[in-house]
Amino acid sequence: KRRVILDVDTGVDDALALAYAVHSPELELLGVTTCFGNVTAEEATRNTLAVLESLGEGGSGRIPVVEGAKETLRRGEKPKYSRHVHGEDGLGNALKTPPQGSAQPGNAADFIIAEVRRRPHEVTIISVGPLTNLAQAIERDPGIVPLVREVIVMGGAVGVPGNVTPYGEANIVADPEAAAAVFAAGLPLTLVGLDVTLQTLLPRTQLDVWRASGRRDALFLAEMCEHYMGFYESCYPGLGGCGLHDPLAVGVAVDPSLVKAEPMRVTVVTEGEETGRTVGTAEGEPKIRVCTAVDADRFLKHFLSRVV
Ligand code: BDR
Ligand code: CA
């Protein structure tokens, strides 16, 4: 089993990634860390707990949830949330009752450090929100870099345009300095960016399949996705569905053969109108693995067979 920490800013597609990860026997979830991003860090924690509880993973002794960064490390800017994409509550306005449980005391960056130190060369970190928690962990304890098994990041747009600006993808734009630090750290890192995640789409027809199943967890997913689907239909007409960004990062942890990746050095633009742009070059070190192609059909089948 691959031991995993999932770092999220829950968000509709983060919620789908959580369900996919919880239902994947290849993965052992050591914990879920939360960050500002789609919503505030507090709301990301609440949403994460609510989703885990809907999956039967609530209560004591279950997967720990640890809250992290409320804002960027260095920018000092007020975060811009993505409620227009993910709904007022971040879960497509489908959250009817608050979770019963609460976060474990402590901080996400310290949790990451402690888990990596406890299990050298075993921990995979899947980050599907801004990279603030991971950057903070590396800053506090650079000694963890050679002890991490792998980092899989949903973020960036290397060969395609961005989604929040013509240049930048949301998770990188949210904290470009954090992303720059993580990409330059020398970690064994796989970047799952818009280059591949805009090819892995959830079709609208799936929402009807989930509704028709009558299952509570499936109904929750369908309701959650309705708003997110609407955003994609108005912003990307003709695309044919909504982006399964964060689930694809989980898919790559379960089955790396779903993607093709090329080694590149990736830098991040941190100033001016291109802020958040991820620039990949064949020269220079350190290199990370940038996903450039995906078997979208195989991924979608796998994802749908597990998410509920
Ligand atoms: C990423 O941004 C967030 O809105 C999504 O949850 C995903 O992690 C896509 O650009
Ligand atoms: Ca996310």
CA triple 14-1-6, angle to 5 deg: 20
Q: Is 223 in the pocket of ligand 1 (CB under 6 A)?
A: no
CA of 241 to the centre of ligand 1 (A): 15
- Catalytic residue list: 245
Closest Cα to atom 10 of ligand 1? 170
CA of 246 to the centre of ligand 2 (A): 6
The pTM of this model reads 0.98
Side-chain half-sphere CA neighbours of 124 within 13 A = 22
Report the amino acid identity of residue 280: G
CA of 189 to the centre of ligand 1 (A): 18
Rg of the chain over CA atoms, in angstroms? 18
**Nearest atom in ligand 1 to 13's CA:** 6
Dihedral sign computed on CA atoms, order 81, 82, 84, 88: negative
Side-chain half-sphere CA neighbours of 32 within 13 A = 32
Whole-complex ipTM? 0.99
pLDDT by residue for the chain (308 residues), tens only, comes to 999 999 999 999 999 999 999 999 999 999 999 999 999 999 999 999 999 999 999 876 689 999 999 999 888 899 999 999 999 999 999 999 999 999 999 999 999 999 999 999 999 999 999 999 999 999 999 999 999 999 999 999 999 999 999 999 999 999 999 999 999 999 999 999 999 999 999 999 999 999 999 999 999 999 999 999 999 999 999 999 999 999 999 999 999 999 999 999 999 999 999 999 999 999 999 999 999 999 999 999 999 999 99
User: What order of strands is seen across the sheet that includes strand 27-34?
Assistant: 65-67, 27-34, 2-8, 123-127, 150-154, 189-192, 288-294, 259-268, 278-281
**Which of 14, 84, 198 most suits a substitution to test ligand 1, by most atoms within 8 Å of the C-beta?**
14
Q: Which ligand is nearest to the CA of 156?
A: 1
**Nearest atom in ligand 1 to 9's CA:** 6
Which residues are CB-contacts of 44 (< 8 A; sequence separation ≥ 6)? 8, 9, 10, 11, 14, 34, 35, 36, 37, 38, 67, 90, 129
Q: Is 200 in the pocket of ligand 1 (CB under 6 A)?
A: no
Q: Which two tokens stand for residue 303?
A: 């994802």
Q: Is 246 in the pocket of ligand 1 (CB under 6 A)?
A: yes
Q: Which two tokens stand for residue 264?
A: 């590149």
**Which of 9, 131, 153, 201 most suits a substitution to test ligand 1, by most atoms within 8 Å of the C-beta?**
9
Measured distance CA(100)–CA(121) in Å, rounded: 34
Q: Is 173 in the pocket of ligand 1 (CB under 6 A)?
A: no
Q: Is 72 in the pocket of ligand 1 (CB under 6 A)?
A: no
Q: Which of 130, 123, 244 is closest to 188 using CA atoms? A: 123
SS3 177: helix
Measured distance CA(115)–CA(134) in Å, rounded: 13
Q: What is residue 238's DSSP assignment?
A: T
State the helix-helix crossing angle for 12-22 and 216-235, rounded to 10 degrees.
Answer: 140
